[in-house]
Chains A and B, each alone.
Chain A
Amino acid sequence: MSTLEVQGLGHDFGGLRALDDVTLDVPPGERLAILGPNGAGKTTLFNAITGLLRPARGRIRLHGEDVTRLGPHARAQRGLGRTFQITTLFPDLSVLDSVLLAVQGADPARFALLRPQTAFPHLRARALALLTEWGLAERRNVTTRLLSYGEQRQVELILALAAGSRVLLLDEPTAGLSPAETAQVAATIRRLPRDLTVLFIEHDMDVALDLADRVLVLHQGRVLAGGTPDEIRKDPRVAEIYLGTPHA
């Protein structure tokens, strides 16, 4: 059974067809890169999959269950996690408090009203373990907005992982990073457990083709090409939209 199935997804913003009959099928554990020029509909696709946007047409199935009508939190509860292209963190919370919120979101304790968070030591233990594993343990008490941009991108990733997701959508995890930082994030993605299914949007063709098992190219809301990194590298249509004629 596919982990994630998207069928005939379509959506318009006013007169702009942002998504047009997008269909994709992601088997468990796959690393699927989504490529495409600006405005190709990549982030819109992610918003539709995670439920932040209700698509006008099409269906979305997660682990075989139709989730098209579920809200984002309900999809998150079913193991769908994501990061944002424009960093969407908790600016005034410390790194540890942010990760605690993410850990707590996947725990029944999230509804507790009259017991302090500290009464659930397993939350803190898991948050600290994650921070140690992903190399931010020493920065745990720093307020998020004081972190470097690269560190903030890392927190994005840790939050998505902390929520216990089995399917991870990464929206341009290396956007705005220096080459050194990009290499670091790429290494982090490579280290993700293999049973985790990962979809990622990536601008950097080399990074994308290096990390992906399979690549999907979107153009003007449509799936233009799909295949292994090698096939995509050789596809003349892909070369054209990236290197050739300018588009609107």
Chain B
Amino acid sequence: MILRAGAAVGALAVLPLALSSYQVDLLTKMLIFAIFAMSLNLSLGYAGLPSLGHAAYFGVGAYTVGLLAVRVWNNFWVDMACGLVAAAVAAALFGLLALRAEGSYLLMITLALAQVLWGIAFGWRRLTGGDDGLPGIPRPAEGLPLSLADGRRFYYLVLVCFVASVAVLALVTRSPFGRALVGIRESARRMEVLGYDTWRYKYVAFVLAGLFAGLAGNLFVYYNGFVSPAYLSIVFSAAALIMVILGGAGTLLGPVLGSAVIVYLENAVSAYTQRWLLVLGLVYVAVTLFVPEGLVRLLRRRKDQAA
């Protein structure tokens, strides 16, 4: 397994040499959204906590980095660290409120909380630029030995973050903690009488998911050089949800596949029409009808049948 992981990382490392800078940008975006989708997968796929507001933590990370870089101090390490902390704190606070509910009520509360942040970003024009967003955020340079303004160099920063995220999440999901999350998803009552404080497990999963969503948000701000209320919107939350379900909730790499497919589709469709959201909705319907278990499990089953 370690060999295969090494080969995959190697392939991702040499791939940019064979791609145009436009394609490298697309690949960068895929990896950023893969981190975002994987973060949601931890709470949704493993712990069974549905969310329609996961963009909240993505957006908090993004706005923190954006505001700091433009208005305060454009230092990569400081801004990045603050972005991560802000996302985790937001998840820690929202988790206290949201995790009192379950199922579709949890879905509604997470949506409502994210909408509150969206409303603040939209309405507080003097701080956030409102609907116009916050432009002119430079690629990381300050505090680093070399500037990452170049798309290929920036790709490697994203790749490092992506690999680190996969590694950490692989460990977490295989740990006793991660196994307990699956147990809670399958039967919370049973886990309680087996001695697990299920609330605490769900809470930690929720905050960790927020932290990694924040990481994705941080990177996306640098990627786009821009942050707007859309980053906090239900469209972003729903996109992450579709990536997770399309790839396979509760599988480590399903969300990565889901992200690659959705980002590629968005890019391809946008060349022909403005109605990307319509296409995204159709993809969602098709996924729930035809591959409800996700692509990764579908491929695995095909392989088992062939063998």
Interface residues of A, Cβ cutoff 8 Å to B: 50-52, 71-74, 76-77, 80-82, 84, 88-93, 97-98, 100-102, 104-107, 109-118, 120, 123, 159, 163
Contact = CB atoms under 8 A, between A and B. Distances in A.
Contact of A115 (B175, B182, B191, B195): B175
B190 A97 contact: no
Interface string B284-307: 000000000000000000000000
B165 interface: no
Given A114-B168, A118-B174, A159-B190, 19 more contacts: A50-B193, A51-B192, A73-B192, A73-B193, A73-B197, A76-B192, A76-B196, A90-B183, A90-B186, A92-B186, A98-B183, A101-B180, A102-B194, A105-B194, A110-B177, A110-B196, A112-B175, A115-B171, A115-B175
A102 B171 CA distance: 20
B176 interface: yes
A186 to B, nearest CB: 23
Interface string B140-173: 0000000000000000000000000000100110
B274 interface: no
Contacts of A92: 186
A31 to B, nearest CB: 20
B179 interface: yes
A101 B179 contact: yes
Contacts of A51: 192
A101 B177 contact: no
Contacts of A116: 171, 174-175
Of the listed residues A51, A52, A84, A111, the one surrounded by the most CB atoms of chain B closer than 10 A to its CB is A111
Contacts of B180: 101, 104-105, 110
A105 B191 CA distance: 8
B191 to A, nearest CB: 7
A113 B195 contact: no
16 contacts: A52-B193, A72-B192, A73-B198, A74-B197, A76-B194, A76-B195, A77-B195, A98-B183, A101-B180, A105-B191, A106-B194, A110-B196, A111-B177, A113-B171, A114-B168, A117-B178
A52 B176 contact: no
Which 3 interchain pairs have the tightest Cβ spacing?
A76-B195, A105-B194, A105-B195
B172 A114 contact: yes
A93 B174 contact: no
B176 A93 contact: no
B273 interface: no
Contact of A73 (B177, B178, B182, B196): B196
Contact of B183 (A80, A93, A107, A115): A93
Nearest to B198: A73
Interface of B: 168, 171-172, 174-180, 182-183, 186-187, 189-198, 204
Contacts of B191: 73, 101, 105
A112 B195 contact: no
Nearest to B182: A93
Nearest to B179: A117
The residue in B177, B178, B191, B194 that gathers the most chain A C-beta atoms within 10 A of its C-beta is B194
B193 A111 contact: no
Contact of B179 (A80, A82, A97): A97
Contacts of B193: 50, 52, 72-73, 76, 80-82, 163
Contacts of B196: 73, 76, 105, 110
Contacts of A91: 186-187
Nearest to A110: B176
B177 A52 contact: no
B172 to A, nearest CB: 6
A126 to B, nearest CB: 13
B226 to A, nearest CB: 35
A118 B196 CA distance: 19
A100 B177 contact: no
A89 B195 contact: no
A243 B176 CA distance: 50
Nearest to A79: B195
Nearest to A119: B175
Contact of B195 (A84, A98, A106): A106
A84 B192 CA distance: 12
A105 B180 CA distance: 9
B266 to A, nearest CB: 32
A74 B199 CA distance: 12
B186 A100 contact: no
Count chain B CB atoms within 10 A of each CB in A52, A90, A98, A159 and give the residue with the most: A90
Nearest to A50: B193
Contacts of B189: 52, 84, 88
Contacts of B182: 90, 93
B190 A84 contact: yes
A187 to B, nearest CB: 24
A62 to B, nearest CB: 13
A101 B174 contact: no
B131 to A, nearest CB: 40
A88 to B, nearest CB: 5
